[in-house]
Chain A
């Protein structure tokens, strides 16, 4: 169990905000921090990692106190067992893939662990390459494995897939899911991609202006209005075209673009880029063997 209770005054682009959160993470859970930019998501990750000091706070990880401002306890970042993956890979460019993983072990050697991780990420053939010769997806794989090589108590993922194209994002989502299934590392992800959140997390904390607005399972937090419809897809609006008394919406769901007919009321306030839930009755689809 991980307990986090922190308070900090923040100076955001929108002005002064007070970050004040109090939540617990079950060991082995996959939790997503969700919210607009400026909500305080990344700040929470950095406080957990010890990179930012809160004005007041208490953090305990599996019964070990990392931070207790009341008792002047504050473990430095290197003493906190965390793995951190950023959006921009942050690999050492002068080291090979293997050396990047080796460096994270702080001088210890664990060849088996490194080989196992390289194999899981299909990086064995690239182990001797320097990061800049790799694709974005491969670099982010290395960053992920580097974060895991030390067997962290918490894995912190700060929008790790947002710089990647859709296909690579989905591939890495599957890999992150698989790694979590094998290692059960308690994971805290920052993301605003609903499809990603639904796919990966078992718990969501929704933040707004530094405060927790809702927490629970993805269906509990986002599915307040639960329709009985059995076909429910999460997608991104690509385009909205007026067509007489109706509108045609192109919605990207996974790799597929689906088209829907909607009324003026349904498209009100909707614009390309918005995330939407698409519901249809189980009776509509026609199924054909391929």
Chain B
């Protein structure tokens, strides 16, 4: 799993759902969780947390133009590509933090992804889990 440390900036709650804004490595991320400050005490500003998201839930963009509904997008560099028949594993460097995306090998070809490329990492808000920070 991908894991990034961050600090909660804001929490907006509507009934059971909260949209949590997180600052991690100088970028703003958001996470949608079925929790509220009442059910999860750590959902408050300035709280350190870990963001966790699955490799298969991460997408890669290159030369992106136009609008996208995805809230979490951050510049990263491709460190390594392991190509399988159907799936490929893209290891990324995001400001010194290792992240990994598993995407189809077709996409690797279509986007002409190569090691050293500057790309955009994309993660849907509802795919980000939160974990109380570990030491």
Contacts and interface: CB of A to CB of B under 8 A. Distances in A.
Chain A interface main SS type: loop
A225 B131 contact: yes
A223 B49 CA distance: 16
A245 B102 contact: yes
B126 interface: yes
B72 interface: no
B55 A225 contact: no
A263 B35 contact: no
Nearest to B90: A245
A244 B127 contact: no
Interface string B119-135: 00000001101111010
Interface string A228-251: 111000000000000111100000
Given A245-B82, A261-B56, A266 B126 contact: no
A282 interface: yes
B85 A244 contact: yes
Contacts, number: 53
Contact of B55 (A244, A263, A281, A283): A263
A244 B87 contact: yes
Contacts of A71: none
A244 B32 contact: no
A213 B131 CA distance: 23
B111 interface: no
Q: How large is the interface on B (under 10, 10 to 19, 20 to 34, 35 or more residues)?
A: 20 to 34
Contacts of B86: 244
A283 B35 CA distance: 13
A279 B54 CA distance: 10
Contacts of A246: 56, 84, 87, 89, 102
B52 interface: yes
Interface residues of A, number: 18
Contacts of A163: none
A226 interface: yes
B33 A228 contact: yes
B85 A228 contact: no
A230 B82 contact: no
B58 to A, nearest CB: 11
B88 interface: yes
B70 interface: no
A285 B34 CA distance: 14
B131 A227 contact: yes
A225 B88 CA distance: 29
B110 interface: no
A10 to B, nearest CB: 34
Contacts of A245: 82-84, 87-89, 102
B50 to A, nearest CB: 9
A35 to B, nearest CB: 24
A229 B57 CA distance: 14
Interface in B90-113: 100, 102
Contacts of A266: 1
A244 B87 CA distance: 7
Given A230-B34, A243-B84, A279-B129, 10 more contacts: A225-B131, A226-B131, A227-B131, A228-B31, A244-B85, A244-B86, A245-B87, A245-B89, A246-B87, A281-B126
25 contacts: A226-B131, A226-B132, A227-B52, A227-B129, A227-B130, A228-B34, A228-B35, A228-B40, A228-B130, A228-B131, A230-B34, A243-B87, A245-B83, A245-B87, A245-B88, A245-B89, A246-B89, A261-B56, A261-B102, A263-B1, A263-B102, A279-B129, A281-B129, A282-B34, A283-B127
